[in-house]
Amino acid sequence: MVYVHVPFCRSFCTYCDFYSERACPSRSWVDEVCREARSRRDEIAATAAVDTLYFGGGTPSVLPLEYLGLIADACGGRNYAEWTVEVNPDDITPEYARGLRALGVNRVSMGVQSLDDGMLRWMNRRHSADGARRAFRLLRDAGFDNISVDVIFGISGLTTSMLESTLKEILDWRPEHISAYQLSVEEGSALADLVRKGRYTDLPDEECSAQYYLICRLLEDAGHEHYEISNWARPGFRAIHNSAYWTRAPYVGLGPGAHSLSRTGVSEVRSWNSECLSGWTPESEVLTEEQIREERIMLGLRTAEGIPGYGRIPEDKWFVADSIIAGLV
């Protein structure tokens, strides 16, 4: 189970605080990721029970196909039960889509976020609604039969009708997986600066809740299984990689800003790489029993299965999961 962080973006979204650089991926950066992968082969082998490779970001689709292949080879090959690459619709051409499939990528996660062009401009997304439609068709034409689509809700200015229109059209595309995330104000983002300047006010909680349950209803009616607080899948298409995070399976994170979890006997170690494009250095901590307990509760509450030993979480309680977590930990 390997995660590769690709910290490159052609532009920065209004809401994003993930580590990324407005720079072009270089061969020297790829070589450094490959070197790290080869040096951690034993760790990678120890996570092989979950046979996944995930390129996240940043914007992994800014990587040339050759670079994706080189990194996959350094991780151990190109044949995975699930190999996911996150993509921006604006990067998808017929050649790139076919090239991803030829490499062995078998799952694509595409950040659509909205099909309202005004909302996309406010988010500073570099694709249009038509661009997202075209990208999805190109991925299907290239042979992808496992596509995940991301949307965002809980934005001031996003009306219920706008959200419903986006969701209904995306459902018409028949993606295998849909993720829906509520907008949050993160320090370091352009949105946080807008809040400080009084140019943005959060959508009231009751309106966010109404939008969330609209998503739940529409996706359930369309036959999608609500298996995690922000994730829905058609039967048989749960995200293997992300599901393993929620059960706290060990994983290896490569690249600047990436995190890892390893387990030796009764000890668990969380490690992470510094946020630096070249020569990133690892740091780590041994998790205490209390930290492990809190993670199990927090992650279990996110899933339909619930906390081990406690059973399923009723769906009408999922929106208040944060307060449930606070009470338990």
Q: What CATH code is carried by the domain that includes residue 229?
A: 3.20.20.70
**Do 173 and 301 reside in the same domain of the chain?**
no
**Do 95 and 33 reside in the same domain of the chain?**
yes
pLDDT of residue 79: 95
The structure tokens 């946020």 sit at 275
Query: Cβ of 210: how many Cβ atoms within 10 Å?
Result: 16
**Do 125 and 227 reside in the same domain of the chain?**
yes
pLDDT digits (tens, 9 = 90+) for 159-178: 999 999 999 999 999 999 99
pLDDT digits (tens, 9 = 90+) for 110-150: 999 999 999 999 999 999 999 999 999 999 999 999 999 99
Q: How many domains does the chain have?
A: 2
**This model's pTM is above 0.85:** yes
DSSP structure string for 127-168: --HHHHHHHHHHHHHTT---EEEEEEE--TT--HHHHHHHHH
- Among 94-98, 225-229, 265-269, which is the least confidently predicted range? 265-269
Domain of residue 199: give its range.
2-245
With the C-alpha atoms ordered 242, 247, 252, 253, is the resulting torsion angle positive or negative? positive
**Does the residue 280 lie in any domain?**
no
**Do 185 and 61 reside in the same domain of the chain?**
yes
pLDDT of residue 14: 84
**Do 154 and 57 reside in the same domain of the chain?**
yes
pLDDT of residue 277: 85
**Do 40 and 121 reside in the same domain of the chain?**
yes
- Higher per-residue pLDDT: 127 or 17: 127
CA-CA distance, 134 to 120, in Å (whole number)? 16
**Does the residue 134 lie in any domain?**
yes
Cβ(226)–Cβ(216) below 8 Å: yes
Amino acid identity for residue 5 in this structure: H
**Do 206 and 303 reside in the same domain of the chain?**
no
**Do 328 and 241 reside in the same domain of the chain?**
no
